[in-house]
């Protein structure tokens, strides 16, 4: 207790106190010093860890070969415009929070990688998209310094800290943080205010301080790639905050939450201390939500916390970052937002609809359906729809099932701009007519695994303590790995017949059949039966389970009961999130300052995501926003 009192006194007066080193008791922005014995563990710009032996064609750096990744994607990841939903009724907050955490603890170094574009075969019978680019853009992740040459096996760099520490809110450098905080930008943090800079309750734009060119760099995609559009980009701790309006809204929510915490503190507390208190609480809140709501909703159950372990390296694993955490199948091809009708004029609704958004007034509410490609790089739309409406809608329905299928919004037109005049075909079967370029996240996921030297599927299972699979049916849980021999819809080589992907039956979460093409088929299907089994398609493509790309095998696995994952992905999540918890000296259950903040100021980190949403927006949401409410 004496240490806690001394530490809190040191924090409160911002002066050294005997027995308490202030610098050692506040998180660094880059994650350094968290582990006193190994101060570089998990800090920014350090190598990803490896659990398994690398798999390069030359043993050093050259990616292994295999079937064309777009070819695989067309036959395995293609959802044929049929949505299947989470069997555990996990809402869209599952993938949104997952992405927000991904942007907190992982971002590979990108600058300087070699071009290795993925071939695009326009003659593929299963290809329905036009690609005037001629290939699918792909850049290899650059080798970590000193690796990938001679006898040094190629490794990769994580540019953010691997802790759940609020990185996406505050960034990892003093320069970025100074720009984000209220006050002058003059090279020193000492004269900044305690609050984060906002504009009318929204994240600041790049031109918020006048000169957009002086703003911290932000990743640009979609509409933000137009000449001069950078000035409109939202600026946050992580550079990817503009990727989609759901992600932007989550960034925005925690900037508001930071300022709300600051407002609760007594006026006599110095500005820097107010800032550090709020930052500490924000990190704890995000950990609390992750371990008490997010992971349990997905069926990830960890052993009871036994305290901080300084021999645990919390750094992100390469296999987790490149294979295990890629749950892109969960992501909806559209966002649904729910706003109050009184908040929008007819002209405002018309302007929103003109972008390809459906807006339907239902009593005192407006329901928006926003295609994912419209939501990419579109901060103007985010502000037009509104923070509360976006946050409310994310808890409104289940996310997609975490299986082998990926929505065409990600599997074919990721970040692409629609052809002018075709805004009416932005989703579903008409999608190919809207776009002339292809960026396939499913193909990229497979290619990235080869790029990083990922072991093949069964080798990765062994590395995580699982027995290898000896047949494709043992992976998928299906009854056969053979194509039907008496189906008149399949002719010639089945792998070249688009009919192999047809859905023949759909079922809801209770096992009740759903008519194909019905309204329920688009909103309630949890299980889908296709004309050919996944096992048959995998066998025809790969021939042997020992030749499967790790990502393809992982997402093809039958789910562990009560979980959104198969055995391999679940094992990878358990190992990584336990390390992120046990290897963090500032984990909320190990931080003696947090209880004192509650005792002294009534400020607690023990808030659900629903409570944080309600306190910062005033909207009412269900108690657990990760679980869909039955109507």
Query: If you average pLDDT over residues 105-129, what whole number do you get?
Result: 93
pLDDT higher than 70, residue 150 = yes
Residue with tokens 């859905």: 503
Query: If you average pLDDT over residues 286-308, what whole number do you get?
Result: 98
Computed over every residue of the chain, the mean pLDDT equals: 92
Asked whether residue 25 is domain-assigned, the answer is yes
pLDDT higher than 50, residue 17 = no
Residue 423 binned pLDDT confidence (cut-offs 50, 70, 90)? low
Query: If you average pLDDT over residues 311-328, what whole number do you get?
Result: 96
Asked whether residue 179 is domain-assigned, the answer is yes
Alpha-carbon span 574 to 569, nearest angstrom: 9
Three-state SS at 110: coil
Number of domains present in the structure of the chain: 1
Asked whether residue 198 is domain-assigned, the answer is yes
Residue 25 binned pLDDT confidence (cut-offs 50, 70, 90)? confident
High-pLDDT (> 90) share of the chain, %: 83
pLDDT per residue over 343-390, tens digit each?
999 999 999 999 889 999 999 999 999 988 889 899 999 999 999 999
High-pLDDT (> 70) share of the chain, %: 93
pLDDT per residue over 441-494, tens digit each?
999 999 999 999 999 999 999 999 999 999 999 999 999 999 999 899 998 899
Residue 13 binned pLDDT confidence (cut-offs 50, 70, 90)? very low
Alpha-carbon span 405 to 411, nearest angstrom: 9
Which of 563, 482, 534, 543 is closest to 78 using CA atoms?
534
pLDDT higher than 90, residue 10 = no
Specify the pTM.
Answer: 0.94
Instruction: Compute how many other C-beta atoms are within 10 angstroms of the C-beta atom of residue 324.
Output: 26
Which of 430, 414, 337, 341 is closest to 383 using CA atoms?
337
Which residues of 16-129 form beta strands (DSSP E)? Answer: 46-47, 118-119
Three-state SS at 39: coil
Asked whether residue 497 is domain-assigned, the answer is no
Let me know: does 269 contact 601? Beta carbons within 8 Å. Answer: no
What per-residue confidence (pLDDT) applies to 427?
A: 62
pLDDT per residue over 186-227, tens digit each?
998 889 999 999 999 999 999 999 999 999 999 998 788 888
Asked whether residue 533 is domain-assigned, the answer is no
Asked whether residue 190 is domain-assigned, the answer is yes
**Structure-block tokens of residue 418:** 């629609």
pLDDT higher than 80, residue 46 = yes
**Residue 199 bridge partners (DSSP):** 202
The CATH number given to whatever domain includes residue 364 is: 1.10.640.10
Asked whether residue 513 is domain-assigned, the answer is no
**Residue 394 bridge partners (DSSP):** none
Let me know: does 595 contact 8? Beta carbons within 8 Å. Answer: no
pLDDT higher than 50, residue 336 = yes
Three-state SS at 264: helix
Query: Among the ranges 226-230, 515-519, 577-581, which has the highest mean pLDDT value?
Result: 577-581
Three-state SS at 114: coil
- Domain of residue 572, residue span: 2-456+549-617
Asked whether residue 342 is domain-assigned, the answer is yes
pLDDT higher than 90, residue 302 = yes
pLDDT per residue over 489-511, tens digit each?
998 899 999 999 999 999 999 99
Three-state SS at 247: helix
Residue 19 binned pLDDT confidence (cut-offs 50, 70, 90)? very low
Residue with tokens 């509104």: 386
Let me know: does 85 contact 401? Beta carbons within 8 Å. Answer: yes
């Amino acid at each position: 207790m004496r240490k806690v009192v001394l530490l809190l006194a040191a924090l409160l007066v911002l002066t050294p106190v005997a027995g308490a080193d202030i610098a050692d008791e506040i998180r660094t922005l880059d994650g350094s010093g968290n582990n006193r014995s190994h101060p570089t563990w998990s800090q920014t710009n350090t190598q990803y860890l490896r659990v398994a032996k690398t798999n390069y064609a030359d043993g050093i750096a050259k990616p292994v070969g295999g079937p064309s990744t777009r070819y695989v994607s067309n036959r395995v990841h293609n959802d044929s415009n049929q949505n299947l939903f989470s069997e555990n009724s996990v809402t869209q907050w599952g993938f949104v929070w997952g992405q927000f955490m991904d942007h907190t603890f992982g971002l590979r170094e990108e600058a300087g990688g070699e071009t290795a574009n993925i071939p695009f075969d326009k003659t593929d019978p299963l290809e329905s998209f036009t690609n005037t680019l001629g290939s699918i853009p792909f850049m290899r992740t650059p080798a970590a310094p000193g690796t990938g040459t001679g006898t040094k096996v190629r490794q990769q760099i994580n540019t953010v800290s691997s802790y759940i520490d609020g990185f996406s809110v505050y960034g990892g450098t003093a320069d970025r943080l100074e720009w984000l905080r209220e006050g002058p930008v003059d090279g020193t943090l000492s004269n900044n205010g305690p609050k984060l800079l906002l504009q009318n309750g929204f994240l600041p734009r790049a031109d918020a301080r006048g000169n957009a060119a002086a703003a911290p760099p932000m990743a640009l995609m979609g509409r933000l790639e137009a000449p001069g559009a950078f000035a409109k980009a939202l600026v946050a701790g992580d550079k990817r905050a503009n990727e989609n309006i759901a992600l932007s809204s989550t960034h925005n929510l925690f900037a508001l939450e930071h300022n709300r915490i600051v407002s609760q503190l007594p006026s006599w507390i110095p500005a820097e201390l107010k800032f550090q208190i709020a930052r500490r609480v924000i990190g704890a809140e995000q950990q609390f939500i992750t371990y008490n709501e997010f992971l349990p909703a997905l069926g990830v159950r960890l052993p009871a916390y036994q305290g901080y372990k300084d021999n645990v390296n919390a750094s992100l694993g390469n296999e987790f970052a490149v294979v295990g955490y890629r749950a892109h199948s969960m992501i909806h091809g559209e966002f649904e937002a729910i706003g109050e009708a009184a908040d929008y004029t007819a002209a405002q609704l018309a302007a929103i609809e003109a972008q390809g958004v459906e807006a339907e007034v239902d009593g005192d509410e407006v329901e928006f359906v926003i295609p994912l490609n419209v939501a990419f790089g579109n901060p103007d739309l985010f502000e037009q729809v509104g923070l509360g409406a976006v946050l409310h809608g994310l808890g409104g329905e289940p996310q997609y099932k975490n299986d082998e299928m990926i929505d065409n919004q990600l599997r074919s037109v990721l970040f692409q701009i629609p052809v002018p005049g075709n805004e009416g075909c932005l989703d579903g079967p008409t999608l190919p007519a809207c776009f002339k370029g292809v960026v396939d996240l499913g193909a990229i996921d497979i290619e990235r695994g080869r790029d990083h030297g990922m072991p093949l599927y069964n080798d990765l299972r062994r590395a995580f303590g699982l027995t290898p699979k000896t047949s494709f049916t043992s992976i998928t849980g299906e009854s056969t790995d053979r194509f039907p021999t008496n189906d008149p819809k399949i002719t010639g080589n089945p792998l070249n017949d688009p009919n192999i992907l047809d859905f023949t039956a759909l079922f809801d979460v209770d096992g009740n059949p759903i008519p194909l093409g019905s309204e329920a088929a688009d909103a309630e299907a949890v299980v889908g039966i296709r004309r050919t089994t996944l096992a048959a398609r995998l066998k025809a493509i790969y021939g042997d389970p020992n030749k499967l790309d790790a990502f393809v095998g992982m997402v093809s696995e039958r789910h562990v009961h009560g979980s959104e994952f198969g055995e391999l992905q679940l094992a990878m999540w358990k190992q990584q999130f336990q390390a992120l918890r046990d290897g963090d000296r500032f984990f909320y259950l190990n931080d003696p300052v947090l209880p004192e903040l509650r005792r002294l100021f009534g400020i607690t980190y023990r808030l659900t995501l629903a409570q944080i949403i309600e306190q910062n927006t005033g909207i009412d949401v269900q108690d657990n926003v990760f679980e869909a409410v039955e109507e």
